[in-house]
Every structure is written in structure tokens, then in C-alpha cells.
Amino acid sequence: MITVTVLAVLFTFASMTRAAHAPVGLGTADTFAVLGGATVTNTGPTVISGDLGVSPGSAVTGFPPGLVNNGSIHAANAVATQAQSDLTTAYNDAAGRTCPSPSNLTGIDLGTQTLTDGTYCFSSSAQLTGTLTLDGQNNPNAVFIFQIASTLTTASASTVSLINGAQACNVYWQVGSSAVLGTTTTFRGSILALTSISLNTGATIVEGRALARNGAVTLDTNTITRDTCRTAFPAPTAAPTTAPSATPAPVTAVPNTGVAETIDAGGDKLILVGIAAGLVGLFALTLLRRQFVRGA
């Protein structure tokens, strides 16, 4: 039984740590939450967690009132230039992944879909209306790549949800032209757009990035938080086993009658002790009665 339990734990741990296919390497673009090619413009109290940059353009407007936390603004400097170069490499990597025929979702709205690890493609535009669920199937290294030939558009209040260990750091949206996130959309994953990215009022990228190669990134009262992959996961815990209760050692009671009885410790012992005491008392009364009769 112990051997079976150990093997089950090892199998589960191996399943958790396997990777179906490699993630897309972002290089130095990994530190950026927002990266534009021409400009980055903002309206309202947008909050960016991670670096914000633009290259080869140099215009960054709307910060403040927008805030950049846990990062810096890089406008047409060496850091932004290198990040754009690495973004191009990542974009080409994602676009070049093999998309099997069953994973061609052209014409299918991503809303209400539940997808597992894999590469999915659209020969034209992609639409998300409602909730898209990405299921990691208890594998934190599950990778989700979306190849979209033209535009990516989400309807208002749409959501990308992650379950069963899926991580936003392993979700990539390669967009052949531009991406537009509708108002109050809750999005996850890195958008790698050839042209531009626009987030309408209140849209959030709770874990991910908005990375545009050639055009503008346009923001309006948004929250974008750069994702980070968890690198350590607790090993599965085997179900606890309960050790059998120790059997009380037998106790031998020898009443005054001269008859030995072997009994279990516990309630039975108390009962027999009471019986023995009663017998002793009865025997004593019998002796007293005999002595009384003889004296009479």
C-alpha cells in the first residue's frame, strides 16, 4: 500500500512539472507591461506595474495622471530599442508555431470556450464575447498561443479566466494587426501586436502585457500588471494514513474465589472487579452468619 501511494505521488508531481511545448521567450521585453512602437498615450488614472516604453517613437503622454509602479519609463532609449528587437523575435516565434487543423478556430467566438494547452489560430480576426477559460489541467507549465491573422477584439466586460494551474505568463496573443479591449474587459496574457493596442475605459490586463511593434498603445483609465511565472510549486501531499490503535495488553484479575480470569483493560475490568468485590462481601456475610448461628 505504501509503494502504491509513493508511485501515485511521483506520477502526480511529474504531471505537474511537464511542459507540452516551450513558452515564447520575450527577452528583455519581459520586464515591460506596456511597450509601443510609435507612441504611448493615456487618459485618466491608469496604473502600470512594470516598465513602460516606446521605440523607435519617443512620445509618452498622460503620465501623470497615469502612474508607473515597479518599473521605469523608457522613451527611445537603448533599453526600449532592445526590448522592441526582442519583441520582434518573440512575435515571429509565436507566429511560426504549428497550429494543428482541429485548433483552427476561425469564425468561432472565444466566449464560452474552454481550451487546454496548445496553439490556436484564426485566419482572419478573433472575437471574445463573454468568458474564455484556459484550463491548465493541473500543469503549471501549460502554454497557450493564439495566432490571429488580423484583429483581436473583446466585447465589454469580457474575461479571460485561468483554472487548474494555468498561468498568464504562458499565454500569448500574437495579433497580425491591432488589438482592442472593450470597456471593463478583464484580460490575461501578453498581447504581441504588429500594429497597435487600445484599451477602452476600465479595461484591465490583470496579468500580462500590451506590446505593440509598430504603432501606438492607447490607454484610458486602465490597470496593467506585468505577469510573473511561479517557478516553485509545492509537491503533492499524500493522503494522511492513520496508524491502527494499539490493542491494550490483557490484564489478569484473580478474585478471592481463587478463579483467575483474563480480561481486557477498560470497562470490562471495572465490571469484573465489581463482581469480585460483591462475591467477597457475600462470602464475608456467609462467615458471619455461621459464626452467629454457632454462638446461638
Do 167 and 216 sit in the same domain of this protein?
A: yes
| Whole-number pLDDT of residue 295 | 52
Whether residue 231 is contained in a domain is answered as: no
State the pLDDT at residue 21.
83
- Structural domain of residue 34, as residue ranges? 11-225
Confirm whether 234 is domain-assigned.
no
In a domain, 235, yes or no: no
How many structural domains compose the chain?
2
Please report whether residue 246 resides in a domain.
no
Q: How far is Cα 21 from Cα 161, in angstroms, rounded to an integer?
A: 21
**Residue 44: inside a domain, yes or no?**
yes
199-231 burial, b for 16+ CB within 10 Å, e for fewer?
Answer: bbebbbbebbbbbbbbbbbbbbbbbbbbbeeee
- Please tell me whether residues 165 and 51 are part of one structural domain: yes
Q: How far apart are CA 282 and CA 35, in angstroms?
A: 100
- Per-residue pLDDT tens, the chain, 296 aa: give them: 444 343 343 334 344 444 458 999 999 999 999 999 999 999 999 999 999 999 999 999 999 999 999 999 999 999 999 999 999 999 999 999 999 999 999 999 999 999 999 999 999 999 999 999 999 999 999 999 999 999 999 999 999 999 999 999 999 999 999 999 999 999 999 999 999 999 999 999 999 999 999 999 999 999 999 999 976 444 444 444 455 555 555 544 444 444 333 334 444 443 443 555 555 455 555 554 555 445 54
Same domain for 138 and 17, yes or no, is yes
Q: Which neighbouring-strand residues pair with 59?
A: 39
Does residue 204 sit in the same domain as residue 274?
A: no
Cα 175–chain centre separation = 25
Asked if residue 141 is part of any domain, the answer here is yes
The reply to whether 191 and 113 lie within a common domain is: yes
| Last residue within a domain, chosen from 225, 240, 273 | 225
Please check whether residues 266 and 211 belong to one and the same domain. Answer: no
